[in-house]
A and B are shown apart, each in its own frame.
Chain A
C-alpha cells in the first residue's frame, strides 16, 4: 500500500536512464572479457550481472527506507565505515595497495561503501549547521572534521581516486548548503596550493607524499608518449577509443577485446564502449549520465527535508565527479586514478555502492514535494504555476 505510493512517485525516467547505462556497461563487459578467463567466456559477465542484481535489490531497499532514519543512525554508519577502513589495512596488499577485505564470495572494498556513508553523514551534519545558523568557516570546519578520518584512511591505502571523490562530495555539499562564494574561492585556492605542494615542493625537498606509481601516472599524463607503464595504458585507451570512429567497430575487435588494453573491464571500460559503439554510443552514454544528473539535481530543492536535499546533492556530486574523472582519464585529459565508471565498471563494491546511491536519490525524489508545490522563483520560472492546486500544500508567505 505504502510501497505502492512510493513506487508511483519514484522517478522512473531516472531509473530508465540508469537501466540503459547498466545495459551498455554489461554489453561492454560481456564483449571484452570473453577470453579473459580461459574455458569460461561468461565468467566475468555472469559475476557482473550478479553484482548488478544485488545492487538493484539494495537500491530498492534504499528507496523504501525513509531517509529520516539516517538522522538517528548516522553515527553508526560513520563508525562502521571507519571501522572497516581500519580493518582493511590489516589485509595483504593487492597490486601495491590495501583496499580489499576478502570475503568468501566477494572481496569487499570499504572505501566504496564509504562514498555513500560520507554522503549521508555530511548531509546530516550540514543540515544541523544550516538549522543552527552556522555558516562560513564554522561549517567548513565541521565538514572537514567529519571527512578527514575516512579521507586519511583511504589516502594511505593508497587510493587517491576514492579520496578525491570524498573531497568532491564534501565540496558539492558545502556549495549547495550555501557556503559563501568567497570561501568557496579560498577553498579552491587551498586545493590548488596543496596540489602544487604535494606534486612539486614536497618531492623536491625529499618528502614524497605520493607513491612512486602515483607520481609516475602524473608524469605519464604530462608526457603521454614517454613510455612509462601508465603511459602505455592511457595510450592503448586512446587507440581503442580513437579506432572506434563515428559508429564503432562492433564487438570483439582487437584493441580492447584482445587485451592490448589492460583493465579493459574495470576502470577503462569506457574505452570498450568507445571502440565497440563509436562516437555515437559513447556520446549517448555521456548524455545519459548528464540526464541522470539533471534528474537528481532537480530533486535537490524540492526535497522534503534539508537532510534529504543534501543527500540528493551528494549523490549528484559523487556521480558527476566519478564520470568526469573516469571518462577524462580514459580520453587522456585527466591523470590515471583508480576511479570506476558508475554502472559500467566491473566490480562488486562499486556497482553496488553506485546503485545504492541512486536508491538514496530516488528515495529523496519519491518523498519530495511536487514540483508545483514550490513557491515561485526557485526554478527561474517565477509565477508559473501548474497542476491541480488542490494537490498542492498551502502556500506560505
Chain B
C-alpha cells in the first residue's frame, strides 16, 4: 500500500448519490455497448470466414493470375541484303548509357512511379495526382531542397503544357546532369527515360541514351569514377551500310529506301497485312523497305512468364520461357555496285553542273531498273541524310532539322516522289498518241521550223537555227520541238467535240504517267497529266481562256505545261520502250531468306501490262533514241562517245517557272536487247545531254563492267578513225538508209 500523495490517492469513498455517478446505470449502458461490440466483431469474423474459408479457391485463383505476367522478348530483326546477298542494312551491337537504379533510390521515387492508380484513371485526374505526387515528394525533403523542388514544379505548371510530375527530379544529383551532357542528351530526356523505366522494370539498368557512339563511350568509360552508377548496356541497333566516295567521305547508302523504325501504333496494329501479328510494344518499320517487308523482318517475339508485382517488376523466377525467333532476311533487287555508282554519279553530275554555270543545281535522282521485269537495280536521291543519326540519341532533333530544310528537302526520296516537268523525255508519249489517234504516220515527215505560231502565240524550237523537214527518228535524235508541236496541235484537233477523251493525256496515262507505279515499297506520288478536266478543276470553266486549248496540247507535247512526273515513272516508260510495249511494275524486294540461308519466299515480278502500241512507231522511236546517243548529231552523242555498248536514250531540258532548267536523261542499254534502263534528273542542272547523260553513262559503265580507261581508249581510236569495234557510233547501214 502506498502512502497518500498528490498524484495518487487510494480510491476515495464512494460519493453520495448527489454527484450523479450512477455506476449501476453506467454499467448497464456499458453492457449494451459491449453487446454491440461483440455483435460487430462477430459479423466481421463471419464475413472473414466466408471470404477466406468458403471462397478461398476463387480468390486464390484471381490472386495467382493477378501476379503472373508474360513478358515479351523482342526478336532480333532480320537483315536487308542486296541482290548478291551483301548486307545493306544489318544489325550491330549498340552501346547504351544507363544508370544503376540501386545507386539512386531517391531518384527513382522522385522521377519514378508517378501515381499508382487503376488503369482507367481519367486524364485530368491523373494530372492532378501527378501534381500532388510531385508536391508530396517535395514535402518529404528538407526545407531548402523542398523550396527548389517546388519552384521547379511551379515552372512546369506555369510554363509547360505538358505536366511532368517528375521534372527536376534529378536536380539533387548534379553528376547526372553532367553525365547527360557528356552523353549528348538533355536533362529533360534523361528524366523522362528514368521516369519511363521506373514505372516498368526499376531493377534493371535505366537506359538514358541509346546507341551512343564510340567517342562518347570511351570518354565516359575513362571517367567512370566521376559518374557513380554509370553502366554501359549492350543492345542491338540497325547498322546502315556506308560507302566511301571518290572524295574519301563515307556516306550512308540509299538512306531513303529503308525507312525508320518505331514502336507500332494502335492504328498500325489494325493493318494485318503490313504488320501481321504485331504485338503492342513491337518495333516496326514506318516507311520504305522496313515497312513493306516488316512482317518478314520482324520475327516472332519470345516470351517469359514470371511472377511480377502490380508495377510489372519481376519478383520471382521465370516460370516458362519461349525463345524469340529472329526475323528473316530480305534480299532486294538492288545491286550494291550499281547503287554506289548511281550515288556517286549523282554527286558528280551536280558538282559538274555547279562548275559549269548552273550554281542552283543542288538536288537530283537516279533510277536504274531492269526493263524485262521491273526489278530496281539502283535508286538514288540527293541530298540524303544519315539514317543512323536519325535512329541515334538525338534523332528527334536531327529529324526536325531535316524536315525544316524545305529547300533541300533531304527527307524526300526524289526518285519515287520528286515531281518534275518531263521535258523532252516525254516526246515518245506524244508520238505514240499521235499514231494511235491516226494523226500521223510513223514515218511522217514534218517541218522542223524555228517556231510554230498558233492563235497568235509563238512556240519556239529549242534550236532556233534549224529549219528542215524531218521524220520521227530524226526529230527524236536532234530533239526537234516544233515537230512535236505539230503532233500536239493535231492531237488537239483530234479531241472529240462531245467531251470524250483527249488522245494525248489518255495515252500518257496508259503509259504510266499520272498514276502510282505500284512499287512494292510504296511512297511514290502519282504526278499529274493535265487535261480539260484538270483545267476546269484548277481554274474554273467560266472563262473561255481557261478551257483546254491547243496551246496546252502543244506544251504537253514536249512534257511541259503542268505535266509532273517522277523519275520512276519515266524509268517505267523507257522500260516499256525497251521491252517492246510492256508496262512493268517496279519492285525492290526479291526474296525472303531465312537465317539458315534457305529461300523462304520469292517475289515474282508482276507480269507487265501490254500496251497496244503500233509496232512501226515503236521501232521508229527506238531508232530515234539510238540516234540521240549514237548519231553525231544526237543530243547525247558527246556524253556516250567511246562507250563500247550501244545505248539508246533521250535527253530532256525541262523548264519550270522560277527555276533554272532541269536536266534529264533516260536511256537503256544494250540498245538492241535492253537489260537496263537508267533515268537521271538534276534539278536546275542545265542541258540534259551535258549534265544528266554523263551520270547515266557512269551508272551503265558500272552495271556493264566498263571502265573509264576503255572508254577513253575507244574514243581516241574513233577520233583517229581507226576504230572498227562492234556496234558503235555511226552505223554505216543506217546512215545510208537515212540519206535515202
A residues with a Cβ closer than 8 A to B are 1-2, 4-6, 35, 37-40, 64, 66, 92-96, 102, 104, 107, 130-131, 133, 172, 175-178, 227, 229, 232-233, 238-246, 253-255, 257-262, 274-275, 278-279, 282-283, 286-287, 289-290, 293-294, 297-298, 300-302, 304-306, 309, 313, 316-317, 320, 323-324, 327-328, 331-333, 367-370, 373-375, 377-380, 393-396
| Cβ A102 vs Cβ B33 within 8 A | no
A388 CB to nearest B CB, Å: 11
A297 contacts across to B, CB distance below 8 A: 30, 33-34, 37
Q: Which of A294, A331, A393 contacts B47 (CB 8 A)?
A: A331
A229 contacts across to B, CB distance below 8 A: 117-118, 120-121
| Cβ A178 vs Cβ B26 within 8 A | yes
10 residue pairs of the A-B complex, CB under 8 angstroms, read: A40-B105, A241-B52, A246-B52, A246-B56, A254-B309, A287-B45, A331-B47, A333-B44, A373-B11, A378-B24
In the complex, which residues 294-331 of chain B have their Cβ closer than 8 Å to any Cβ of chain A?
A: 307-311, 313, 315
Report how far A305 CA is from B60 CA in the complex, Å.
Answer: 52
Instruction: Tell me which of B19, B30, B66 has the highest count of chain A C-beta atoms within 10 A of its own C-beta.
Output: B30
A282 contacts across to B, CB distance below 8 A: 48, 52
A225 CB to nearest B CB, Å: 12
| Cβ B2 vs Cβ A241 within 8 A | no
B2 contacts across to A, CB distance below 8 A: 1-2, 4-5
Report how far A274 CA is from B31 CA in the complex, Å.
Answer: 30
| Cβ A35 vs Cβ B315 within 8 A | yes
Report how far A327 CA is from B41 CA in the complex, Å.
Answer: 9
Report how far A6 CA is from B310 CA in the complex, Å.
Answer: 50
Report how far A305 CA is from B26 CA in the complex, Å.
Answer: 12
A218 CB to nearest B CB, Å: 17
- Other than A229-B121, A324-B41, give 4 A-B pairs with Cβ distance below 8 A: A5-B8, A176-B30, A320-B33, A380-B31
Question: For chains A and B in complex, what number of residue pairs have CB atoms within 8 angstroms?
Answer: 245
A242 contacts across to B, CB distance below 8 A: 51-52, 55-56, 58-60, 62-63
B48 contacts across to A, CB distance below 8 A: 241, 274, 279, 282-283, 286, 331
A333 CB to nearest B CB, Å: 6
| Cβ A39 vs Cβ B38 within 8 A | no
The segment from B136-144, B284-292, B439-447, B665-673 found at the interface with A is B136-144
Identity of the chain A residue whose Cβ is nearest the Cβ of B51 in the assembled complex: A242
Known: A239-B62, A242-B55, A242-B59. A316 touches B33 (CB 8 A): yes
| Cβ B33 vs Cβ A239 within 8 A | no
The segment from B127-135, B333-341, B450-458, B504-512 found at the interface with A is B127-135
Q: Which of A2, A239, A274, A298 contacts B7 (CB 8 A)?
A: A2
Chain B residues touching A, range: 35 or more
B24 contacts across to A, CB distance below 8 A: 301, 375, 377-378
| Cβ B23 vs Cβ A255 within 8 A | no
| Cβ A394 vs Cβ B13 within 8 A | yes
Report how far A379 CA is from B29 CA in the complex, Å.
Answer: 11
Known: A1-B2, A260-B66, A306-B21. A294 touches B34 (CB 8 A): yes
A94 contacts across to B, CB distance below 8 A: 132, 135-136
The segment from B108-116, B463-471, B534-542 found at the interface with A is B108-116
Report how far A300 CA is from B47 CA in the complex, Å.
Answer: 30
| Cβ B105 vs Cβ A39 within 8 A | yes
| Cβ B59 vs Cβ A375 within 8 A | no
| Cβ A254 vs Cβ B30 within 8 A | no
B215 contacts across to A, CB distance below 8 A: none
A179 CB to nearest B CB, Å: 9
Identity of the chain B residue whose Cβ is nearest the Cβ of A107 in the assembled complex: B139
A367 contacts across to B, CB distance below 8 A: 8, 11
Q: Which of B33, B58, B121, B310 contacts A258 (CB 8 A)?
A: B310
Q: Which of A6, A95, A301, A375 contacts B26 (CB 8 A)?
A: A301
| Cβ B20 vs Cβ A176 within 8 A | no
| Cβ B23 vs Cβ A301 within 8 A | yes
Report how far A250 CA is from B44 CA in the complex, Å.
Answer: 22
Known: A38-B109, A241-B51, A246-B53. A290 touches B23 (CB 8 A): no
Report how far A253 CA is from B101 CA in the complex, Å.
Answer: 23
Q: Which of B12, B55, B313 contacts A35 (CB 8 A)?
A: B313
A258 contacts across to B, CB distance below 8 A: 66-67, 307-310, 315
Identity of the chain B residue whose Cβ is nearest the Cβ of A175 in the assembled complex: B29
A201 CB to nearest B CB, Å: 27
A116 CB to nearest B CB, Å: 19
Known: A320-B37, A393-B14. A245 touches B30 (CB 8 A): no
The verdict on B161 contacting chain A, using a C-beta distance below 8 Å, is no
Identity of the chain A residue whose Cβ is nearest the Cβ of B17 in the assembled complex: A396
| Cβ B13 vs Cβ A254 within 8 A | no
Identity of the chain A residue whose Cβ is nearest the Cβ of B2 in the assembled complex: A5
Q: Which of B10, B105, B309 contacts A259 (CB 8 A)?
A: B309
| Cβ A333 vs Cβ B47 within 8 A | yes
Known: A66-B7, A287-B41, A378-B27. A130 touches B116 (CB 8 A): no
